[in-house]
């Protein structure tokens, strides 16, 4: 996952800004944004100075972006993933994660206030993403940013962590004492999954590159297998109640299913090129 720091960027003059005293709400009519006008490589992305900012719905929050991250889903959509769905809707603003400050709130927003530092992630199918000076998310998609995290650090967390959470808590429904195998623990989703599972009282084994072993052991994994120098199936002897495969190629699918207990959950981020 890559992270784009926006703290050094100064937005262009706002063409229209109004504030209603007492309601703590303001509206920005346009701002800079990175648009995807057509599918292709990174060169197709365009920075435009005056992209419209839609009016806020009652449950929405306008966030002044300070940092955003680049997820694999963003690069896949840019390259043409979901073409039949997204092409009629071009140009799009990509981006799922954001960290910044609340600039305005919708009429029904109760938990967040203007000026508060927040971080969060949009739904995977959102059409107006976070590659913009001002992102729009619902109240439920945002949380207060911990003071211990910088905006750059915070922007790297939400989408990956939520992906891991949904897999482990909503699909596998992991419980204390269960055994979990994370294939590809060195990535953002895998690293999040290890921490979530350890916090739930699970025993975690993971595969990763040599450079990630110490970090994953420190995060709570009981065993970290270097897939570049060790045969995974020879080193790992036990079976698992759940397997999260963040790599999603035929070989890791075969290994994961072979190491799964009867009745266990095998979860992958990719199936035949489709992101789940």
pLDDT at 18: 41
Instruction: Specify the CATH class of 172-268 in words.
Output: alpha beta
| Predicted confidence (pLDDT) at residue 156 exceeds the cutoff of 90 | yes
pLDDT at 47: 97
Are 91 and 37 in contact by the 8 Å Cβ rule? The answer is yes
**If you average pLDDT over residues 136-151, what whole number do you get?**
97
Give the chain's count of helices (H) and strands (E).
8, 18
| CATH number corresponding to 24-156 | 3.90.180.10
Are 121 and 166 in contact by the 8 Å Cβ rule? The answer is no
Are 157 and 84 in contact by the 8 Å Cβ rule? The answer is no
Per DSSP, the three-state class of 243 is strand
Q: What gap in Å lies between CA 232 and CA 229, rounded to an integer?
A: 9
**CATH 3.40.50.720 in the chain, residues?**
172-268
**CATH 3.90.180.10 in the chain, residues?**
24-156
pLDDT tens digits along 226-239: 999 999 999 998 99
What pTM value is reported for the model? 0.82
Query: With bands split at pLDDT 50, 70 and 90, how would you rate the model's confidence at 34?
Result: very high
pLDDT tens digits along 168-210: 999 999 999 999 999 999 999 999 999 999 999 999 999 999 9
Among 78, 131, 135, smallest CA distance to 101 is for 135
Q: Which residue has the higher pLDDT, 108 or 272?
A: 108
**Structure tokens that stand for 121 in this block:** 């992630």
- Tokens 């799964």 belong to 260
**If you average pLDDT over residues 88-115, what whole number do you get?**
95
């Amino acid at each position: 996952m890559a992270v784009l720091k926006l703290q050094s960027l100064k937005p262009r003059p706002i063409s229209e800004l109004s504030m209603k005293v007492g309601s703590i709400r303001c509206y920005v009519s346009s701002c800079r944004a990175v648009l995807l006008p057509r599918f292709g490589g990174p060169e197709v992305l365009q920075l435009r100075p005056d992209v419209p900012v839609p009016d806020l719905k009652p449950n929405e929050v306008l966030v002044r972006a300070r940092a955003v991250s680049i997820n694999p889903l963003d690069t896949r959509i840019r390259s043409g993933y979901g073409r039949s769905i997204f092409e009629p809707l071009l140009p799009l603003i990509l981006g799922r994660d954001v960290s910044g400050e609340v600039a305005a709130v919708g009429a029904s927003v109760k938990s967040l206030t203007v000026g508060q530092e927040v971080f969060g992630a949009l739904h995977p199918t959102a059409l107006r993403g976070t590659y913009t000076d001002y992102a729009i998310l619902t109240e439920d998609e945002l949380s207060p940013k911990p003071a211990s995290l910088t905006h750059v650090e915070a922007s790297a967390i939400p989408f990956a962590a939520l992906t891991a959470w949904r897999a482990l808590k909503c699909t596998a429904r992991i419980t204390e004492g269960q055994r979990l195998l994370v294939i590809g623990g060195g990535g953002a989703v895998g690293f999040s999954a290890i921490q979530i599972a350890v916090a739930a009282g699970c025993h975690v084994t993971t595969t990763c590159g040599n450079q990630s072993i110490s970090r994953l052991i420190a995060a709570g994994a009981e065993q970290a297998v270097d897939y570049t120098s060790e045969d995974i199936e020879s080193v790992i002897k036990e079976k698992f109640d759940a397997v999260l495969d963040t790599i999603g190629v035929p070989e890791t699918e075969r290994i994961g299913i072979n190491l799964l207990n009867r009745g266990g959950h095998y979860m992958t981020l990719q199936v035949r090129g489709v992101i789940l």
